[in-house]
Structure formats: C-alpha cells, structure tokens
Structure 1
C-alpha cells in the first residue's frame, strides 16, 4: 500500500488491519527498498501456504487417529461389558479401572474432535437457537451411564421450550463440565447437580459438585490452555474448550465455592456457572 508523509501512520495501520502485508512511504521509496519489500512479501506468502498445508495435514491425521482410537475403544468397552459376569470379585476393581480409563480416553478423543471442528470452521460461526433442556438431559444421561458410582441430576421442571443462542457444540460444554465434576471428585460417592436460573434475556446453568473444590489462587487460571490441577490426570483442554465455546456464544463462565454460592458454609465442592443468551 502507498502512503504520503502526514497520513502514513493512520493509513498504514488501517491497511495492516485489513490484511496488507506492509506499507511503503512514497518519499522513502527506492529500488532497494522496493525489492526488499517484494522479497519479504513473497517469503511471508510462502510461509503462510506451508502453514496452511501443515494444518490440513494435521487435521487429516487427527481425524484418522481419532477414528481408529474410537473404533478400538468400542471393542474394548464391549469386551469389558461381556467380561463383567465372568470376573471374580477379586478382579472387579481391575475391570472397573480398565473401563474408566477407556471411557476417559474416549472423552479426550471427543474433546479433540470438538476442537478441530472449531479450528476448521468459520471464524464467526453462525449461532442459532438450541434447546437447552434437550442438551442437559442428554449429557446428564450420558454422564450417569459413564460414571456408575456417581449421582448426577438435572431439574425435572425445565421449561420445554427454553432455548439459548449457541451452536451444536454446546453439548460439549456440559459434557466436559459434568465429566470434570466427577473425575476430579475425591468423595466415595460423587454428587453432581445441575441447576438452572432464567430471566428475560439470559439463562444461567450451574454445575454443582461435592468435590474438593478449587483454590482461589487457581480459579482465574483453570480455563487456560493446557491448565491442569495438581491431581489432574486429564489433558488440560476440557475447561479451555468450555471457556472458548462459551465466549463464542457471547456468554460467561464463572467458578465459585459451593458454600459461597449456596450460602451454607459447611458445603464442599465447586459451582461452575455458565450464562448464555436466551432466545
């Protein structure tokens, strides 16, 4: 882009914001500078093309690997169910550990797939009305099935027509929050409840657990990419995905101690509150 002395800063900044690689000042332009600028532009374009090609290859590799992992996990989980009635009491705990580990790997593969769907999609995904009761009931049922030792509840009085502005990946938000509430729970019988509050414009969904809670020093960083708690055995991307999706939906996510949220000082656990736009 060409500019003249006086307006070069404002015009140049605007040009770069709109996608220009660089800008030149007419009074400073000479053969050497012009040649150098062209060479740099060609090199940047080449690097950009290499990056896009690498991203396409990684996306394909991710798809293949996740497909193969999920196929093998389906077989493993099927064998585990079939073995249940043949396992002696002394081996039941070992089988339970195998089943939980397999389910956890499956959840990681699903989360990785959700991330790829975001990365491969448009920069501004098209938001549309999503039935919140349908999403919550489905994800709570899945979580109860995956975690037999936990009790996970959702209100029966949800408004059947309650809708929020989101995408089909909204289910991943609550899948990760529910799994996180159970996996990191230190109680023999994890209890997780989903509470919903509404007003004219917003819907707040609270995922409450009776686990060990999250220290205040970690509350502000737990949604960071790759962040994991001291006792975490996960990949560290689940809550980052939650935060990314909720921000995409023009919503908010907040962590509080359950004792503060409920106003009862002796309660253990945390509350993850997701607020979304109501349709």
Structure 2
C-alpha cells in the first residue's frame, strides 16, 4: 500500500462502541483491536491478499470494543487497485458482526460434548444392567429347567413357559444392545456386493432351519452402498420369516431387482403376517401409546440398519397370506458418482 491510511465509516465504529472521532484512521489502529490469539492468522490472510496470492481476504476473528469486551467479526476484503508493478494501491472491505452466531456454535459444541459424556455414561450403565440381567436370567432358567425335569403336569408346563419366555426375553435384550451400539457408534457406508451377502445369509438360514423352503431370484452382481450391518438385517428378516411361521415347512421367496437408482430386496413368506400395529409403529405411521406392547425389537433393528445405510423399509401383505418386507438400498454406482 502507498500508505496505511484507512477510512472507517460510522457503522464500523458503532459496531465496536466507538465514534469516528475516537479512531485514528490507520491500519495499525485496526490491528491493535484484533485479539492476540487471532492476530497471526489475520496478518497471514492480509499479507496473502496484498501479495496477490488469494482472490480475497476473508477471516473470522475477535475485536475489542470500547468497553473492553470481545466481538466476533467476519472481515472480508480485497485489493481493488494496483500499480504497474502490481503493488496494491487501494483495498476495500467490510466487517460483519457474527458474535451471536459464534455464541450459538459454542453452545452447540458444549451441548455436543455434554451429550457425548452422557452417552458414554449410559453405555456403561447399559452394560452393567445387561450383565446383571443375563446372570439373573441364567439362574431363573436353571431353576426352571430343573423343575421341568423333575416335575410333571401343570408344574412342568409352567416351567416350560418360563424357559420359553425367558429365552425370548434374553434375545430381545441382546437385540436392544445391538440397537444401542448402532446408535452410539454409527458405521460408515461402503460398497457391498449385496448378492454375496444374500446368498450367504440364505445358505446359513437353510442350514439352521432345514424345514424352510427358501428360493432366491436374481441376486447376482448387485453392488450397493450400505453399512456392514446390512448382513445382520437380512439375517433378522429371514429368521423372522421362519420362526414366526405357523407352517410346518415355511415358504420364503427372496427377489432382488433394480428400481431406479436403488436395489430392492423383497422377502415374502406364507406365515400369519406381521401385525398391522407393529408395522405402523416401525414405519412411523402410528405413535407408541402407553398401553402398546411390542415384541418386534428385531424389526426396529432392521429399520435402523436400513436407515443408516441410506435406504428405506416397507411392508405389505402377501397373497394369499403372509407378509412381504422390502428393503431398498442406493446402488454403489449412483452414490460414487455423487461424491
């Protein structure tokens, strides 16, 4: 610059609680009000603009007011005139008071830290409670099994009911743990060969439930973007279709097809169907009422995994009976093209 003379306007002065006659119209006057912790960054940005190394000067820094407080300022400017040697002659700029925005950002940051701390504490409590629950249930089931083996009639039947309900309760609590883990430690999406995952899950289900008749159509070469837990979601849906069936030989049909920019997986069964209220609660069509009792923790797990994968979950009735659960996931090609 030919000189360090600066012209301030009244709005600039009022922003800092000053009047124009209290300000020396020099660059040094301006620099003296910049916070010591911000001055190096401000100088570097200003020097880069003067040297022609940046398109414009843009910093966020604190400046001291007449009352001694600090205000956050966004300072934007650029050299608008240079001489024949490309030396700067004149520059213009504006100040924007961003103190309120910065305070909100700090509040959000502190809130996030508090939430993370609370989440860690809840995870510890959750671990302790689940550990104690499993220990207590093992004792209860052990006594129930002993009663079942040494009794007959109503007592043995009651013991069998305790064992069945206790094992189901353990399964539900374990699924709750999976949901908690997914919420507290989200997985990143990655490219997954959905066909390979489906084939592996179907093979495992056939081995575990040989009475089930499972067919698969068109699962080859289906690359999607999803989290690794999509494997768990498919396992849950296939298992549910078998264990909740009222047929001696459950029939399950898995179809895979391209739909727009997604891959759709349909799992159809011939069982009694998913209760209407259960479907509406999971899809958000209905709210959970105080008297509502759900055994569908597995569906909540599936929904969460699909959502975290950027997909969608839908339910419909099968004909002549049963349910169809559909998962739609973004194709890898479309997702990669958007990055």
Is this a same-fold pair by TM over 0.5?
A: yes
Q: Which structure carries more strand by proportion? A: 2
1:68 aligns with 2:135: no
Structure richer in helix, relative to its length: 1
Contact 1:225 / 1:237 at 8 angstroms: preserved in 2? Answer: no
**Residues 309 and 329 of structure 2 are in contact (CA less than 8 Å); yes or no, is this contact kept in structure 1?**
yes
Cα distance change on mapping 1:274 and 1:37 into 2, 3 Å: closer
Offset, 1:127: 4.9
State the TM-score, normalized to the length of structure 2: 0.52
2:168 is aligned to: 104
Structure 1 residues 178 and 161: CA distance shift in structure 2, 3 A: closer
The C-alpha deviation readout for 1:24-56, integer Å capped at 9, x for no partner, is: 796663xxx84x666555444333221110011
Distance, in Å, in 1 between the alignment partners of 2:286 and 2:301 is 10
Asked whether the equivalents of residues 189 and 309 of structure 2 are also in contact (C-alpha less than 8 Å), the reply is: no
Q: RMSD over aligned Cα, in angstroms?
A: 4.6
Higher Cα Rg: structure 1 or 2? 2
Match of 2:199 among 113, 133, 139: 133
Q: Taking structure 1 as reference, are residues 103 and 59 closer, same or farther at Cα in structure 2, changes over 3 Å only?
A: same
Give aligned pairs, total.
Answer: 238
1:196 aligns with 2:249: no
CA offsets 1:210-231 (integer angstroms, 9 cap, x no match) = 326544x875553339966999
Q: Deviations over 1:192-211 (max 9, x none)?
A: 43211235784624142432
How far apart are the structure 2 equivalents of 1:191 and 1:131?
Answer: 24
Residue 119 (structure 2) pairs with residue 55 (structure 1):
yes
Residue from 313, 316, 330 that aligns with 1:253: 313
Gaps in structure 2 of 5+ consecutive residues: 1-71, 76-93, 333-339
What is the TM-score normalised by the length of structure 1?
A: 0.61
Q: For residues 157 and 236 of structure 1, what CA distance do their matches in structure 2 show?
A: 25
- Taking the TM superposition and a 5 Å limit, the aligned residue runs for 1:1-279 are 29=97, 34=99, 40-81=104-145, 83-122=147-186, 124-129=188-193, 131-138=197-204, 153-155=212-214, 165=224, 166-174=226-234, 176-177=236-237, 192-199=250-257, 202=263, 204-211=265-272, 214-215=275-276, 219=279, 221-224=281-284, 233-234=293-294, 237-259=297-319, 267-275=320-328
Q: Please give the alpha-carbon distance, in whole angstroms, between the structure 1 residues aligned to 2:171 and 2:330.
A: 27
Unpaired segments ≥5 residues, structure 1: 1-21, 145-150, 260-266
Following TM superposition, by how much is the alpha carbon of 1:278 offset from its aligned partner in structure 2, in angstroms?
8.4
